[in-house]
Amino acid sequence: MDSYKITEALRRRLDIERIRPMQAKMMDTRSSAVMLAAPTGSGKTVAFGCYMLRRVGEPCGKVQAVVTVPSRELALQVSDVVRRMASGLKTTTVYGGHRVADELPTLTPCPDIIIATPGRLLDLLQRGALEIHDPATVVVDEFDKTLDLGFADEMRRLMRRIGRPGSLVLTSATPMGHAELPQWAQRPGCQTLDYSAPAEKSGHLDRVEVESPVRDKAETLADLLCALSDAGQRRTIVFVNHRESAERLHELLRRDGIESALYHGGLQQTDREAAVARLRGGSVPVLVATDLAARGLDIEGGIDAVVHYHMPPTADDWTHRNGRTARNGADGTVYVITAEGENIPDYVVTDRRWQPAPRDGRGIQAPMATLHINAGRKEKISKGDAVGYITAHTDLNGSDIGLITVNDHSTLIAVARQAADTVIAACSPHKLKGKRVRITLL
């Protein structure tokens, strides 16, 4: 089926000329097994989407293609791209972290394409809520991360249950040898497409060492973040190695008046979605995160800087963290905060040193605020409904409202910080689409 397309919205997000060779190569591939290595932000979702859609037929009441991903966030991002390409086909996304009951209605009628985390998809199959038999294509996106996160057994059981797909695609940000593949992923004649080398049009990545005068780097981080804010850098991700460290650092920044959001695997899915929405919408300038954020986060508008507060445990972690910035042709900067006596791995390479000026007690406040409405997609709320709700009861118009994110049971709306209290007071007495809702500052 050749009904796939790249919409104008996707064109604005992707450097189409840069990804065209990879896309064309995937389209021309006749092999029933492909290993695609390409860095984050390179457009490999579009490339494997074209390959997959060429093998999918007209809607026929059965699942024809399966895409598995290692994280909930990546499931949503892959779904966003594939839905725009798969014209006329039903695409359903399922993942853990929210109620199965919310997903069951999306499985009737049967989807043509299903995008899923391995555990949730296996659970639905075991419940009998979904049947998949010998699909045309299975794509295992971020294959290496899928194994690293411990999904090897789920994938083995999943592949055994759904039968032998007509074609199999394994993607990763870095090349993998065939000898490393588990038995279920081994296919004769597997073709390797390696686009892991940086493209000529990639943005410039500046790697900077920042020395902390003491072992505890928190004060140096605060100085650095204020300096970045002064320089107009709007979005920064600070990487740490443990959830406890992320919690501690997030609290320290809050006490210092530096607004940040928290992101790690121990949080509820709704809290993780809210953290990303706040960063995307401009209501926080900093995301404090574990390596869960090193893959699968695609922030429209880009990340200006990545800060390694802790040294990345592996060379792959160094690569994937850095891959959050300098995407789609934009420039970016990586900062590595070091302390005396700290062991710096060989793979952590910087281009220069720099020391930010002391912040003198200053904090950082974002220009936007994010409002939370306790109704979302499952309550039939759309972005247009959210805009209408606010403009009907305030003096704001559509151009005064920023990013809107509609989740299953919530809607997040970015507005100018000085207007947030006014919007809450004006809208709270009124219903949204006939429903009594609660609107609060997130």
State the Cα–Cα distance between residues 252 and 382, nearest whole angstrom.
Answer: 37
- pLDDT tens track for 155-173: 999 999 999 999 999 998 7
Neighbouring CB atoms inside 10 A of 344's CB total 12
Angle at 275 between CA 411 and CA 216, to 5 degrees: 165
| Better-scored residue on pLDDT, 38 or 34 | 34
Burial of 359 (0-12, 13-18, 19+ CB in 10 A): buried
92 backbone dihedrals φ, ψ, rounded to 5°: -120, 140
Give 16's pLDDT tier (boundaries 50, 70, 90).
very low
State the Cα–Cα distance between residues 128 and 41, nearest whole angstrom.
Answer: 36
Is beta strand 205-212 parallel, antiparallel or unpaired with respect to 352-353? parallel
Please report, rounded to a whole number, the percentage of residues in the chain having pLDDT higher than 90.
Answer: 66
pLDDT for residue 202: 57
Partners of 33 in the β-ladder: 168
**Which of 12-26, 236-250, 302-316, 380-394 shows the lowest mean pLDDT across its residues?**
12-26
Give 440's pLDDT tier (boundaries 50, 70, 90).
very high
pLDDT for residue 374: 96
pLDDT for residue 330: 82
Task: Select 368-441's CATH number: 1.10.510.10, 3.90.1010.10, 3.50.50.60, 3.30.70.330.
Answer: 3.30.70.330
120 backbone dihedrals φ, ψ, rounded to 5°: -70, -40
The most distant pair of C-alpha atoms in the chain lies apart, rounded to whole Å, by 65
Q: Residue 337, SS3?
A: strand
pLDDT for residue 417: 93
Please report, rounded to a whole number, the percentage of residues in the chain having pLDDT higher than 70.
Answer: 92
Q: Do domains 8-194 and 205-353 have the same CATH topology?
A: yes
Neighbouring CB atoms inside 10 A of 15's CB total 19
- pLDDT tens track for 381-431: 999 999 999 999 999 988 889 999 998 899 999 999 999 999 999 999 999
Q: Residue 49, SS3?
A: helix
Report how far apart, in Å, the C-alpha atoms of 365 and of each of 217, 224, 299, 362 are.
21, 15, 20, 10
Report how far apart, in Å, the C-alpha atoms of 429 and of each of 114, 425, 426 are.
40, 8, 7
Contacts of 126 (CB under 8 A, 6+ apart): none
The DSSP line for 356-422 is PPP-TT--B--SEEEEEES--GGGT--HHHHHHHHHHHSS--GGGEEEEEE-SS-EEEEEEGGGHHH
Give 41's pLDDT tier (boundaries 50, 70, 90).
low
pLDDT of 10 over the 60 cut: no
- pLDDT tens track for 55-66: 998 999 999 999
- pLDDT tens track for 254-280: 999 999 999 998 998 889 989 999 999
pLDDT for residue 302: 84
pLDDT for residue 3: 46
- Residue whose pair of structure tokens reads 């947030």 in the numeric block: 420
pLDDT for residue 46: 87
The domain spans of the chain are 8-194, 205-353, 368-441
State the Cα–Cα distance between residues 132 and 59, nearest whole angstrom.
Answer: 14
Give 129's pLDDT tier (boundaries 50, 70, 90).
very high
Give 310's pLDDT tier (boundaries 50, 70, 90).
very high
DSSP E strands in 86-200: the ranges are: 91-94, 113-116, 137-140, 167-172, 191-194
Q: Any idea what DSSP says for residue 438?
A: -
| Better-scored residue on pLDDT, 13 or 245 | 245
Fold (CATH) for 8-194: Rossmann fold (3.40.50)
- Residue whose pair of structure tokens reads 């040193």 in the numeric block: 353
| Better-scored residue on pLDDT, 64 or 187 | 64
State the Cα–Cα distance between residues 222 and 228, nearest whole angstrom.
Answer: 10
Task: Select 205-353's CATH number: 3.40.920.10, 3.40.50.720, 3.90.380.10, 3.40.50.300.
Answer: 3.40.50.300
State the Cα–Cα distance between residues 260 and 427, nearest whole angstrom.
Answer: 27
